[in-house]
A and B are shown apart, each in its own frame.
Chain A
Amino acid sequence: GAGVSQSPSNKVTEKGKDVELRCDPISGHTALYWYRQSLGQGLEFLIYFQGNSAPDKSGLPSDRFSAERTGGSVSTLTIQRTQQEDSAVYLCASSWALGDTQYFGPGTRLTVL
């Protein structure tokens, strides 16, 4: 079946612009997660959703980062006023339920010039 999909696959933006990253989880998966992967920081947890609720936002690096999930399905990660240090690959994952194996999407490579 279809896996986790993310769009866009690549995004180049200028410093100070806002960006939106989209994640479509595996159908039926109730939990959705965002991580980012960068050379300096490795793989970092950002936020997770159980249904449309985000009980744990502690991984978001700053208040410029926000995320929402609607209809228990698609999620959007928004970064406002992007900075060069936001450049990374943003990975989305989903699982049947909290604590189950997380299946990762292909990622969105964000480059902030």
Chain B
Amino acid sequence: ELKVEQNPLFLSMQEGKNYTIYCNYSTTSDRLYWYRQDPGKSLESLFVLLSNGAVKQEGRLMASLDTKARLSTLHITAAVHDLSATYFCAVGGRGTSGSRLTFGEGTQLTVNP
């Protein structure tokens, strides 16, 4: 059974600081996703990572994937208040089960002025 763990689950940081959210998963997977969720809203797709060593960047967020370590990171650079949200990583299984996503618990990020 595929398990996905994120840490930290809660992160409070000041504007301008850097931090990293970690996502570990238990079995080999073809793809890893990062989503953002604002309170009371749905999930917004941020990144999809498909291969070992993949790195994607959008604004102050950068995601990377190490399939050998079964680890993805979401790095936040010079945080701003607008980044406050809950961030989920999600892993697709292999083969036909690849269509179902298994989500981490989510990291609730609060960026304080």
Contacts and interface: CB of A to CB of B under 8 A. Distances in A.
A43 interface: yes
Chain A interface SS verdict (over half):
strand
A4 to B, nearest CB: 8
B102 A45 contact: yes
| Chain B interface bracket (under 10, 10 to 19, 20 to 34, 35 or more) | 20 to 34
Contacts of B90: 43
A44 to B, nearest CB: 8
Contacts, number: 53
A93 B99 CA distance: 11
A42 B105 contact: yes
Contact of B92 (A42, A56, A99): A99
Interface stretch (B20-28, B37-45, B60-68, B74-82): B37-45
B39 to A, nearest CB: 12
